[in-house]
Amino acid sequence: MTSMRLLARQLRSSTPASRYLTPTHPALSRGNATAVDPPKAKEWTREEIQTIYDGPLMDLVFRAASVHRLNHPPDQIQLATLLNIKTGGCGEDCSYCAQSARYADKVGLKAEKLTEVEPVLIEARKAKANGSTRFCMGAAWRDLSGRKRGFERILQMVKGVRALDMEVCTTLGMLSPEQAKQLKEAGLTAYNHNLDTSREYYPKVVTTRKYDDRLDTLAAVREAGISVCSGGILGLGEDDGDRVGLIWEMTQLPEAPESFPVNALVPIPGTPLENNARVGVTELLRCIATARIVLPTTIIRFAAGRISYTEPEQAMAFMAGANAIFTGERMLTTPTSGWDDDKAMLGRWGLKGMGSFESTTVRMKEGKEALAATNERKAAALAASEASV
């Protein structure tokens, strides 16, 4: 394991991800892009990203919107639903998290056992029926050590959700390369493991694991052929330089992440950050827009805390490049808006949901046979729907 970690770190330092400037495929045109051929490379420095972040806000949003239209269908927002499959009792001390065992008494959150498979699949079917095309499952664990039976149950969950032709994502703490391979074989689309903030600020937020531990898990996920979903949280007490540092770290990965979740801290009573102020919309927009410019083919997920922003503020986030949201009944331990409200909001702004496996970066990592089977089932379902009208 030590040698593999050293190799992963050498790769991270020697082969930073290619940054996309403009699409090179002649079929791509402004407003209807769905794919990007191998692009021109741009190795961003932290100073360059800071300059982008600090630019006039309206210019920044306009530039981000222009980049977005070159790389994504501008009228599509993916709806994702997140289910907590194992609540509380986590051994980490993440200062923002209600699920840490260290804060359980103050928060009043009781640890629960891992959910059975069928109730999870029922929730996945409900999410699909309501328009979600990615289903995410989170377990409050530091890692999977000593959880063989629980992990086997999760593999069954992954297989069951993938059989619904939904993109499936999990967040289970730190992973070994072998565990990542098993998740890939079960049909996992993406694995979420946030870096949270900059390397410099991270020790002020979490002390029970190191920044490189998180990067090692991302390396295991990437090497297994699973899409990487990794982002951060705004409002931890960090400054603008730390937000830029987080985005810069994403550019140092061997591949740009498939997804970059942008969370706005929801202060939870009983946690060390319970009195932190809400992140203003200006800082939110700067982070989303800068990430869109620097990571143009990445899906930017407007995640936790979205419910605290007004509809016009959310629309500005979509203009700045956010093209996925979490919707449904709740997130892990925080509220979110429901499917009906979100679909109505998107409709008012001329936006619509994104289908499953439509993102080029997702499709690149999908097995050809599994993707072909999904496409056939989706086509058959569409034909049946049209025939019934």
Active site residues: 90, 94, 97, 136, 169, 229, 301
Alpha-carbon 240 to chain mean position: 21
Of 370, 380, 384, 323, which Cα lies nearest the Cα of 166? 370
Residue from 308, 329, 344, 358 nearest 73 by CA: 358
Eight-state DSSP code of residue 97: -
How many CB atoms neighbour CB 12 within 10 A?
19
H-only helix segments in the chain: 2-14, 46-54, 57-71, 104-107, 117-129, 148-162, 177-186, 211-223, 240-251, 281-294, 311-319, 339-348, 360-363, 368-388
Q: How far apart are CA 230 and CA 260, in angstroms?
A: 5
- What distance in Å separates the CA atoms of residue 317 and residue 81, rounded to the nearest whole number? 19
> What is the residue whose two structure tokens read 């990203």?
49
What's the Cα-to-Cα distance from 249 to each of 13, 25, 242, 252, 381, rounded to whole Å? 11, 28, 10, 5, 41
Rg of the chain's alpha carbons, rounded to an integer?
Answer: 20
Contact by Cβ (8 Å): 40, 21: yes
Q: Phi and psi dihedrals of 207, rounded to 5?
A: -120, -10
How far, in Å, CA of 389 to CA of 379, rounded? 16
- Nearest Cα neighbor of 184 from 162, 210, 215 is 162
- CB-CB neighbours of 267 under 10 Å: 16
Tokens 């694995």 found at = 191
The span from the first CA to the last CA of the chain, in angstroms, equals 57
Alpha carbon distance 157, 164 (integer Å): 11
List Cβ neighbours of 68 (8 Å cut-off, separation of 6 or more): 74, 292, 296, 320, 321, 323
